[in-house]
Structure 1
Amino acid sequence: MSKGWCWQRVEATFPENQMKSIFRAFDTNGDGKLSRKELKVCFKSFGLRFAGFRAWRAIRHVDANGDGMIGEDEIDELIKYVSKWGIIVTP
């Protein structure tokens, strides 16, 4: 058995509208955007390891306008990005 970093995959399936609702629910300050901190809490709720690192990577990957947040117009790209971790989103 090797020791070191182990990326955990979560096996879960969500309809797209439910996934969007989940992300919106973690917008705790109600500004319509997800900060890194809010995204970290969201990823922890999915049971993902290294939630802070994953939140940072997600923002770097998804944040098209460079404001450091994930806005409503970037949610679809976020859903595609998290699907790499075993979170399946269905139409």
Structure 2
Amino acid sequence: MPIFNSTPGPRKMESGRRRSEAELRQVFMQFDSDYDNCLSKQDIKKAFNYLGALFPGFRANVAFNMADTNKDGLISLDELDAVVKYASDIGL
């Protein structure tokens, strides 16, 4: 029996094309679920999934632990640069 994802939201991007850091930043900011210019770990995971990353939960954990320098549990605009660089480095 097929299981359908009824969660509305953006469809996955086509994979196989490297994106610029500006494009990656824009994608991550699309997942700012409460529009506070900060990203939660869940927001980051959704963005990695959208970008077609293998193991998006793992990728989100790595990026989050690396970027959340003030350990407040959110990725601010200043901290987002590290997440974008990580996404670029892994070929997204």
TM-score class, shorter: 0.7 to 0.9
Q: What amino acid is aligned across from residue 86 of structure 1 in structure 2?
A: G
Q: Deviations over 1:2-44 (max 9, x none)?
A: xxxxxxxx64322333222111111011111111111111111
Gaps of 5+ in 1: 1-9
What is the RMSD computed on CA atoms of the aligned residues? 1.5
SS in 1 for 2:19: strand
Q: Which has the higher contact order (CA 8 A, sep 6+)?
A: 1
Runs of 4+ in 1 over 6 A off after TM superposition: none
Secondary structure at 1:14 match in 2 = coil
2:53 match: secondary structure: coil
Deviations 1:67-88 (A, max 9, x none): 121110111111111122112x
Percent same amino acid at aligned positions? 36
Q: C-alpha distance in 1, partners of 2:24/2:56?
A: 17
Separation of aligned partners in 2, 1:85 and 1:11: 12
> TM-score when scaled to structure 1?
0.74
Structure 1 partner of 2:23: 18
Structure with the higher strand share, 1 or 2: 1
Spell out the pairing of 1:2-81 with structure 2 (5 A cutoff).
11-81=16-86
CA contact (8 A) 2:63 2:82 kept: no
Distance 2:91 2:18 in 1: 8
Aligned residues: 78
Give the Cα separation in 1 of the matches to 2:29 and 2:39: 8
In structure 2, list runs of 5 or more residues that go unmatched: 1-14
